Amino acid sequence: YQVQAAIAALHARAATAEDTDWTEIDLLYGLLEQMQPSPVVTLNRAVAVSKVRGPEAALAMIEPLEERLSGYFHYFGLRGGLLMQLGRNEEARVAFDRAIALANTAAEAAHIRMHIDRLIKESAERTPAKKAH
């Protein structure tokens, strides 16, 4: 529990996500993975990895977990977010749709819908409107 407490303390100390010591959190989750291996610990570590090494590295970490976390809202929410950061918006939309289907609360679903709305907005901005003749 000391490792989990250290992770929580690092989050609590940071005023914003940008102020979080993601490198230290990555290291602590790595230690926790060795002590208590689980797909959820790896998924949590992937969040830190995305901040330290980028979304591609985090996506590579979580892809092998898909079968074991096929019913887990947070897996698909994170997957969608990573894919969106990589500009893979169609794949992100599929992941976000799955996350909404697995959402346990209206708040979880609303959070994912915000990401989908952003994808739709970005897509509309990239696609020029057709002029009427």
pTM of the model: 0.87
Residue 47 contacts residue 78 (beta carbons within 8 Å): yes
- DSSP assignment, residue 4? H
Helix, strand or coil, per DSSP, at residue 53: helix
User: What was the pLDDT predicted at 127?
Assistant: 72
Residue 31 contacts residue 23 (beta carbons within 8 Å): no
As a whole number, the mean pLDDT across the chain is 93
- For 67-88, the pLDDT digits (tens) are 999 999 999 999 999 999 999 9
Q: Is residue 114 part of a domain?
A: yes
User: What was the pLDDT predicted at 122?
Assistant: 84
Look at the chain and report how many structural domains it folds into. 1
CATH number at residue 10: 1.25.40.10
Helix 89-102 vs helix 106-126: angle between axes, to the nearest 10 degrees?
160
Burial of 30 (0-12, 13-18, 19+ CB in 10 A): middle
Q: Is residue 132 part of a domain?
A: no
- Structural domain harbouring 75: 2-126
Q: Mean pLDDT, consecutive 10-residue segments, the chain of 133 residues?
A: 92 89 96 96 97 98 97 98 96 97 96 93 75 57
